[in-house]
Amino acid sequence: MRRERRIDVLLAASVAVGILGQWLVTSYVVADGLRVAGLLVALPEWAPATWLLQTVPVFFLAGGYARGGERAPNPPRLRPVLVFLLAWGAALAVLSVNGFSLAAIGEIVGPVLAPLEFLAPYLLLTAIAPWLRRAVARHGWVAALVPAVCVALVDVVRFTWPTLGWLGHLNTIAVWAVPFLLGLAWRQGRVSGAWLLGGGGLLAAALIVLGGYPVAMLEVPGAPVSNVAPPSAALLAFACAQCGLAVLAGDRLGRRAAAPRIATVISDAACPLYLWHQTAPALISLATVRLGPVAGLTSPPTDASWLLPRLAWLPLFAATLVGLLALARPRRGRPRDRGKGDCRAVATCDAVEE
């Protein structure tokens, strides 16, 4: 068994672009502590740019593909998530002792804990992957229609009767089950990238233009309706289109050639990168909170000029994230025990066979 170049490249691209998108559109603003602000609140006309920055569907597609063979990799381990939660549990105590209000603490941890909204359904889907693989083997990509129909029904109910809006959280699993199932079908050669791209793109456009769904495919703080929290039918249609594009790109990349080294490194670290990426700007913002608004970091994003100093902060965010990963990395044991407790990529495909 060996790595597949196309999965390494797609997974690395989805993680890198997804992290970059979050760092650009979400920030902390100094205002009686810290509060969350979004660039898209000030620049709603930039919402279509989120179609390039929302890459979670590819993450699930790659995860499904990795577990589409008979000798799929083991499910991701929970240790990194536990370390993350324990670290932030201690951080909350420190913030409380240092005078941060509950409201300010809630603002701080909101973006930090957001990755768990995606990792939790991923862990569930990988746990039941053997059953899902058999369903796809029997029914092909049609198996993905079951959760897709559930998403549509939930959206009809929650938008028709707003008091039942809480039902939208059921979509948190159903929406992401679709690209995961499509990944399983892709592994079995039973999915068409062109049909997914065309059909998903047209449906997403129709839902936005005719159905009144938001254009933004990332979370916009304060927005009355979101495509992400909870996931919507528009996000699902977009996910199908993006998966179709990823399948077409993956088929062109092929399996045999080795992926660039940077792609394999990011792919192997997909889980911790995604888990910790919002902690990096949170820590830097907290470290500078007493300085008042800092351009591009804790100053309000009011117009496009805010992006220039923001870009200057990205290398420090990246360096801090690498440091966090080094601290959270499990200690190696004896040679024969190496790998035990080690969480490589959430969707690692280093054991994908031909």
Other beta carbons less than 10 A from residue 331's beta carbon = 6
Residue 111 has pLDDT above 70, yes or no: yes
- What is the pLDDT at residue 70? 65
- What is the pLDDT at residue 283? 94
% of the chain at pLDDT higher than 90: 58
Residue type for 264, please?
A: T
User: What's the mean pLDDT in 25-49?
Assistant: 87
The length of the chain is 354
Backbone φ, ψ for residue 271 (5° rounding): -65, -60
CA of 50: how far to CAs of 17, 194, 244, in Å? 11, 22, 18
Residue 290 has pLDDT above 50, yes or no: yes
Residue 353 has pLDDT above 70, yes or no: no
Residues 6+ apart with CB under 8 A from 335: none
- What is the pLDDT at residue 75? 60
Other beta carbons less than 10 A from residue 253's beta carbon = 17
- Only one residue has tokens 């159903």, namely 174
- What is the pLDDT at residue 81? 87
Least confident of 120-134, 294-308, 320-334: 320-334
Residue 339 has pLDDT above 60, yes or no: no
Model confidence over 4-20: pLDDT tens digits?
Answer: 888 999 999 999 999 99
User: What's the mean pLDDT in 275-283?
Assistant: 94
Tell the burial category of 315 from Cβ atoms under 10 Å away from its Cβ (0-12, 13-18, 19+).
exposed
